[in-house]
Amino acid sequence: MKFSVVLVLVSHILIAVSGRWHQSESTLAVHSVPLGSEASFHWRVELTTEQIVAEVHYAAEEYSWFAVGFSNYGELKQADYCVLWVDWHRETHLEDASSDVDSKLNTDEQQDCTNFEWKKHGNVTKFTFTRKFDTCDERDYVIEVDNRTISQFLLTLITVYYLIASVQRGTTHLVWLKGSGPLTSVAGLQVADAKSSGMSRTELLRIHHPKPQFPADAWQHEIRADRVQVPNVETTYWCHVQKLPSSMRRKHHVLQFGPAIQQGNEHLVHHMEVFHCAGPADVDVPLYNGPCDAPNRPERTQICKKVLAAWAMGADAFVYPEEAGLPIGGENFNRFVMLEVHYNNPELLAGNVDSSGIRFIFTKSLRKYDAGVIELGLEYTDKMAIPPGQEAFLLSGHCISECTGVGLPQSGIKIFGSQLHTHLTGRRVVTRHIRDGEELPMLNYDNHYSTHFQEIRLLPQPVTVLPGDSLITTCTYETLDRENVTLGGFAISDEMCVNYIHYYPNSKLEVCKSAISDDALRTYFRYMKEWESQRTSGDKGISDNYKSIEWTKVRVAALHDLYEVAPLGMQCNGSDGSRLPGLWDNIASTPVRLPLAPMARGCP
């Protein structure tokens, strides 16, 4: 089933704004995401009126009802829906409803799915409605708007600038249900009455960035899968090693990368990444083409793990800012890359063949700056741990001012993109930005983070980070269903807390991450043995020591407090892998004297 994106019914007011990163056309962009294989969601963000205009297309038999809405992490119960339903007089209604803990739908007293219009062509229904970011109805999902940035900008800049800086970022989980009718009312419906249902993740309130001009010699190159028979299992990771053309012996810039999805497979291709096989230029990598986890995948393909491009369902193309491009190619560049496609097939459809991939735009007319990537957050080690049974446990990784001081150029860097990263238990990620003790607007955040939706996202506007600034990345983990402690590390069952920031001009700093200092950790394990009678010991390794602790409420709280105040061990490394000069052990985190005020909602 295919749908073309034809909108849009509702007219709106244009705001005249100048500036490359925030032109009025940003409010015009229409985004799309599939809802299963027979429906799709299209929307536009209206910043000035703080609402989204949505259009849903779905195929169904006569009298069917269709609910679409939001929930925190994609659960169908305790979700907020707009429900289209048909009564037996063939009258069509749209109602604001929510599902409770027992999955029962109830009509909301306050109705917030407004400006309803619909059309039908054959068995396809298309309907539109508008929805305020924050309806102030406690039963509705809040699309938060952070207005704390206003004081920063108020004096010098116009209102729209503030609006763009302040809209919520991060993941929104769209949920949907489809069932048969006619109905007499929405009230009393159960989630289980739906014949099909599902969830799609997207960045709902994204800012559309107008495309900069590409030079005349810009060319397109697609790294695609080659007629993959998509297995009829829920999850498949397909890996395909390919070699870039010989023109890449010369240095190029990537200006843009984006999805090249085979038509009709929009609902199957969940996310894709292109990895560079970073190694000496003359190293050959086998052109493997098969499941990523197959036992016969050659060991030599394991060097293909430096991320060049990442895309996830519902995302637009990633466009580099006018001043910068991602360097690729050159004499010392190994031309092998690996495409990884995650096929998500919850309907267990058989017989699909796919050749989707990522489309790059390259140029040899180099832009002014090379773009670079810095890793912020926690070191990949077992020094940090998350006790089991936690609803929300926080770990923070620091990029302290001493490290940005030696690693960044005097005029600072401009950060334009960010990719947040945790493994399975991460629920929230935020990177705070501190200058001279004062907290500036957050660099990036996602309050509904999912490990299954890791896009490289453009920031609403580039953020300047100066030498001496500090960046604190905090991840919130949920381990309610784990019986043992979760440790930091590389395995998918371990945890990470990372923000890969994309910036220019490329500088020598590449890793700015922390963990608790070794001394503080040793002291902690000794304390646990002597005062809490735990089986920790100076002879055991870190992982074993953490595993030797029986986690009570008090011990969990004490671990949290320890992580908050303990001195750090810093990894402040350059792009050649060596440590930048400085004393990086047993060092204090940069203090935050003036934190941001908590976020306020504009509700009575």
- Interface positions with ligand NAG (CB under 6 A): 38, 59-61, 122-123, 147-148, 150-151, 483-484, 511, 571, 573, 577-579, 600, 602
Query: d(Cα 287, Cα 336) in Å, to the nearest integer?
Result: 9
The full DSSP string for 192-234 is: GG-SEEEEEEE-TTPPPPPPPPPPTT-EEEEEE--SEEE-SSS
Give the shortest CB-540-to-ligand NAG separation in angstroms.
13
Selection from 183, 180, 197 nearest residue 81 by Cα? 197
Considering the complex, what minimum distance in angstroms separates the CB of residue 401 from ligand NAG? Answer: 19
- DSSP-assigned letter for residue 95: E
The residue to which tokens 């289209």 are assigned? 84
Answer yes or no: are the C-beta atoms of 308 and 254 closer than 8 Å: yes
CB of 317 to ligand NAG, least distance (A): 30
Could you say which of 237, 452, 527, 560 is catalytic?
Answer: 237
Q: Is 12 a catalytic residue?
A: no
Contact 307, 350 (CB under 8 A): no
CB nearer to ligand NAG: give 220 or 493. 493
Measured in whole angstroms, the distance separating CA 291 from the mean position of its chain's CA atoms is 24
Q: Which is nearer to ligand NAG, 108 or 134 (CB)?
A: 134
Q: Residues for the chain: how many in total?
A: 604
Smallest separation, CB 528 to ligand NAG (Å): 17
Q: Which is nearer to ligand NAG, 165 or 174 (CB)?
A: 165
Q: How far is the CB of 98 from ligand NAG (least distance, A)?
A: 24
106 contacts 187 by C-beta, under 8 angstroms: yes
Is the distance from CB of 477 to CB of 395 less than 8 angstroms? yes
The amino acid that residue 471 corresponds to is L
Looking at the Cβ atoms of 379 and 455, the one nearer to ligand NAG is: 379
Smaller CB separation from ligand NAG, 38 or 80? 38
Determine contact, residues 489/542, Cβ cutoff 8 Å: no
Quick one: 356 or 573, whose CB is closer to ligand NAG?
573
Q: Cα–Cα distance between 457 and 362 in angstroms, integer?
A: 20
Identify the residue whose tokens are 């007011």. Answer: 13
Q: In the complex, what is the shortest distance from the CB of residue 479 to ligand NAG, in angstroms, rounded to a whole number?
A: 11
Cα dist from 515 to 547, 567, 577, 594, whole Å: 18, 9, 18, 24
Least separation in angstroms between residue 361's CB and ligand NAG is 30
Q: Closest CB to ligand NAG among 60 and 274?
A: 60
CB of 141 vs ligand NAG, minimal distance in Å: 19
C-beta separation of 536 from 551 below 8 A: no
Pick the catalytic residue: 252, 270, 421, 448?
A: 421
Q: Measured from the CB atom, is 311 or 500 closer to ligand NAG?
A: 500
| Amino acid, single-letter form, for residue 257 | F
Token readout for 352 is: 């699909």
Decide whether 132 or 243 has the Cβ nearer to ligand NAG.
132
Q: Note whether 275 and 307 are within 8 A (CB).
A: yes
Task: State the nearest-atom distance from the C-beta of 443 to ligand NAG, in Å.
Answer: 19
Q: How far is the CB of 222 from ligand NAG (least distance, A)?
A: 30
Q: Which distant-in-sequence residues (6+ apart) come within 8 Å of 143 by Cβ? A: 52, 70, 133, 134, 168, 172, 204, 205
The whole-angstrom separation of Cα 177 and Cα 76 is: 8
Closest to 434 in 3D by CA, of 378, 377, 379, 473 = 473
- Kindly tell me which of 78 and 147 has the beta carbon lying closer to ligand NAG: 147
Judged by beta carbon, residue 39 or residue 254, the one nearer ligand NAG is 39
Query: How crowded is residue 230: how many other Cβ atoms within 10 Å of its Cβ?
Result: 22
In degrees to the nearest 10, what's the CA dihedral of 246, 250, 255, 259? Answer: 20
Q: Is the peptide bond before 182 cis (omega within 30 degrees of 0)?
A: yes
Please name the residues in contact with 360: beta carbons below 8 A apart, sequence gap of 6 or more.
220, 221, 222, 223, 254, 256, 257, 309
DSSP assignment of 119-164 equals EEETTEEEEEEEEES----TTSPP--B-GGGHHHHTTTS-HHHHHH
Sign of CA dihedral 89, 90, 91, 93: positive
The CB-of-258 to ligand NAG minimum distance in angstroms stands at 29
89 is catalytic: no
Catalytic residues: 237, 421
